[in-house]
Amino acid sequence: MIGSFLQKIGSSARPFLPVASGFVFVLFSAVPLPFPYIGSIAPTLGLAAIYYWAIYRPDLLRPTAVFVLGILSDVIHYLPIGLTALVFIAVYQIALSQRRFFVKQIFFMLWLGFGAVSLLSSLVNWTVMSFYDGAMLPFIPVLMQFLMTLMIFPLPAWLLIKVQRRFLSQE
């Protein structure tokens, strides 16, 4: 009886895994790392989750959830409210529009596509924050954050692949 109850809970929770993983990645990206001066160049893990799920399970990650994850990221990182939400929605829409191409590709192509949207999101963030501050911000930290995000992408992608295969492949 307990086993069937847990199975029902598990099956009803499955549709929330993409949103939950995005939530965890957004929170994890705000965890202080034990390295000095890395806070401003820490990888944008939430972006990886948005990109991955937009390609592989867009039915389980709706634009509303993407927007909420972006607002959460803005609050956590003390950014202007709506900036990351705008970027996340843009990445979601770009990935969704290219879904047919990327869903059939090898991992390297997925990674290359992520690099393109990650670079675009970094440029948008830098531009908007420069206007917000009223001065051109240094570009090196933005470039370093982009490179860190790009280099670490295989790890969150691997985790999301495991989650998808383990919990969402039956659907």
pLDDT tens-digit profile of 95-130?
999 999 999 999 999 999 999 999 999 999 999 999
Vertex 18 angle, CA 162 and 168, to 5°: 50
Q: CA-CA distance, 25 to 76, in Å (whole number)?
A: 12
Predicted pLDDT at 12: 73
Write down how long the chain is: 171
Predicted pLDDT at 13: 74
Q: Model-level pTM?
A: 0.90
Query: Mean pLDDT over residues 63-86, rounded?
Result: 96
SS3 50: helix
